[in-house]
Amino acid sequence: MYSRVRWRALLLAALVTAFMAPVAILAAPTPHGAVSGFHYVKLANGASVGLSKGQRPSMHMLDVSRLSRHAMTGGARFGSVPFRTRFTAAQFAAMKAAAVHNLSAPRLLNSISSVQPLWSTAPPAPEQLVTGLTDNFIVCAFFGTGCEPPDMAIAASPDWSVQATNTSVAVFDKHGVMVLGYPVDFPTFFGVPASCHGIPFTTDPRAFYDPNDQRFFVAMQAPNGVADTCTPSSTSYIAVSQTSNPSFGWNVYAINSAIAGPTYFADYTQLGFDSQAVYIGGNQFNCCGPGYGGAFTIILDKHAMEAGAAISSPNVIGPYLAASSPTCPGGGCLLDTVNPTTSVANLSQQPQATILVDADQSNPTFPCGFGGITCNNIDVWGIAKPLAASPIVSEQTIALLNNFVLPPPGDEPGCPLCIETIDNRVSGTPTFSPWDGGTVSFGLETAVNFGLITYPGYQWGQIAIKEAGNKLTSATLAQGGIVAASNSTHSFPATQLLPNGDMYLVSDIMSAAEYPGWEYRVRHAGDAANTLSAPRLVQRGLDTYLLPFGVPGTGNLRWGDFEATSYAGFATNGVWLASQYGNTDYDWGTSFAKVH
């Protein structure tokens, strides 16, 4: 068996030709896209966003006591949901392999972490650990026999938990027992019409629990013409529980999300909320040719959704553009993955402008760390008066203390460089807390240099925000750091802030000697700046992930797009974390845990 260094050297040599080939600059659509009535809100630093009125969403009510499953047509097959970037699959794979020796990566002088733990012991073991959805022909029905990856969504209250993965939803009681009748596949749960091939393609679930209104929300995307040959279309679906009990009925809304053009579709669901609105977004890709259309946010009336009422044409924000920076000389580059935050603020502590966050990796030619591109910017957006005819949009840009660059694939036993580690986007949904006048937490992946070789790690951070006059007036990095280790993969971080400023962080852990599992860390508000606790392993990996289905060393094993966290409300201050792990059948399993 080759060592990790030997595997990486061979892969780099094999892929260098592909990497050195010209990288196509994918053409963006015209700024006005396909939405009528589009105009621009000029921002102080020269960037801009478009504002338009979207199509009126359709709505139906789901009575979970009368569910019937969608029938599948066609032969059974195992499928991989593709991860979409601005580059071709071959270009991206070559760049990921070359990231093994990327000297632009932030460098750690020790072999453990730049984060010095506050305690010699890890945080407590979870109060409750629940085995979640597992890959099979029922949970991931579109592909017949299962699929990769699961993605991850969790929403929890003191009495209930709602989990979603590709491509089903499940409800659990407070004891971690799945409610009879679940899981329910996405097409049935959301009422997605059959496609030209029968069961429609659905993907990218997100979820949250609103602690003020005590309702559950679940969202996903249903693009046609992406994983099938149907006529192109793109629909975002979002469901809200009719009561605080998610085992009863849901109000389900569908809205056309082909915002950048009729053949564009929304990818990589983003979902957040404040006291007035629900924000659902995605990155726009052309299903039928080259082209990236930018990131957009659709704003929906939350209280109307909770009441099951019709919603008039919602506001649409986008495309989001980068300011002038080394990543985007001259400004105006299209941003991606602009995440609205979930909120742990009570009604008296709501922000003037709801916060959205993205990591600026907007250069259209190279990913971060290649072609002389150095990335370290975080864009922070504010949206005030979201349901008004003209929302107020503001933006601030901050620079992190360390660069972030494209991470290499991760290792697992018997399969070096196998596991997907995504790019530098903020993958887990950020959280807004009223702590210290307003704080937002986030995490993003990066390569970390340990001499001649880099390993996948992540940066975490907390952003202090100030607002006045319904605008975001400042955003500064309050604290942050890097978590990484030589010979290990740390990936897919997701954070959960509490109202008192405590932060919980979930991430995946794996190595050449450790099957893929997941861990969590804690930071208390009074801890020394830029520090986290030592990790607590929550779910140990049970076996190699999908080795029979992939080619060792090619980086083609989809691990996931995001992990998830949930705040269970002010009464308990409960925190739930969810992730995936390598299961006993070489496939994925999921689990979620109450850690506070």
Model confidence at 431: pLDDT above 60: yes
How much is the average pLDDT of 397-403? 92
Task: Write out the DSSP string of 140-173.
Answer: T-TTEEEEE----EEEE-SSEEEEEETTEEEEEE
Amino acid at 184: V
Quick one: tokens of 487? 């010979």
Scan for tokens 């890959």, then name that residue.
135
Q: What angle do CA 448, 451, 452 make, to 5 degrees?
A: 100
Closest CA to 441 of 532, 325, 347, 320: 532
How far is C-alpha 485 from the geometric centre of its chain's CA atoms? 23
Amino acid at 235: T
Report the pLDDT value the prediction gives residue 16, as an integer from 0 to 100: 29
- Collect all residues with Cβ–Cβ distance below 8 Å to 22 and sequence separation of at least 6: none
Q: How confident is the model over 122-176, as pLDDT tens digits?
A: 899 999 999 999 998 889 877 777 888 899 999 999 999 999 999 999 999 999 9
Question: What are the extents of the domains in the chain?
Answer: 4-594
Task: Write out the DSSP string of 414-445.
Answer: TEEEEE----SS--SPPEEE-GGG-EEEEEEE
Quick one: tokens of 496? 């959960």
Quick one: tokens of 406? 């494209």
**If DSSP codes are grouped into helix, strand and coil, which group holds residue 92?**
helix
Rounded to 5 degrees, what are φ and ψ at 19? -70, -35
Closest CA to 461 of 208, 114, 58: 114
**If DSSP codes are grouped into helix, strand and coil, which group holds residue 11?**
helix
Strand arrangement, sheet containing 588-594: 128-134, 588-594, 575-582, 564-567
- Collect all residues with Cβ–Cβ distance below 8 Å to 355 and sequence separation of at least 6: 340, 341, 380, 381, 382, 430, 432, 438, 440, 465, 472
Scan for tokens 């009681």, then name that residue.
173
Confidence of residue 191 (pLDDT cuts 50, 70, 90): very high
Report the pLDDT value the prediction gives residue 478, as an integer from 0 to 100: 96
How much is the average pLDDT of 49-53? 68
How much is the average pLDDT of 343-368? 94
C-alpha radius of gyration, the chain, whole number:
22
Quick one: tokens of 492? 């897919």
Centre a 10 Å sphere on the Cβ of residue 514 and count the other Cβ atoms it contains: 18
Please say whether the beta carbons of 50 and 32 come within 8 A: yes
Please say whether the beta carbons of 278 and 253 come within 8 A: no
- Full-model pTM: 0.90
Report the pLDDT value the prediction gives residue 455, as an integer from 0 to 100: 95
Q: b or e along 105-127 (b: 16 or more beta carbons within 10 Å of the residue's beta carbon)?
A: bbebeeeebbbeeeeeebbeebe
Report the pLDDT value the prediction gives residue 184, as an integer from 0 to 100: 94
Q: How confident is the model over 529-552, as pLDDT tens digits?
A: 999 999 999 999 999 887 555 544
- Collect all residues with Cβ–Cβ distance below 8 Å to 309 and sequence separation of at least 6: none
Quick one: tokens of 7? 């595997």
Confidence of residue 79 (pLDDT cuts 50, 70, 90): low
Confidence of residue 1 (pLDDT cuts 50, 70, 90): very low
Scan for tokens 């002010």, then name that residue.
570
Quick one: tokens of 90? 């071959």
Centre a 10 Å sphere on the Cβ of residue 451 and count the other Cβ atoms it contains: 10
Amino acid at 474: S
Quick one: tokens of 208? 């949250």
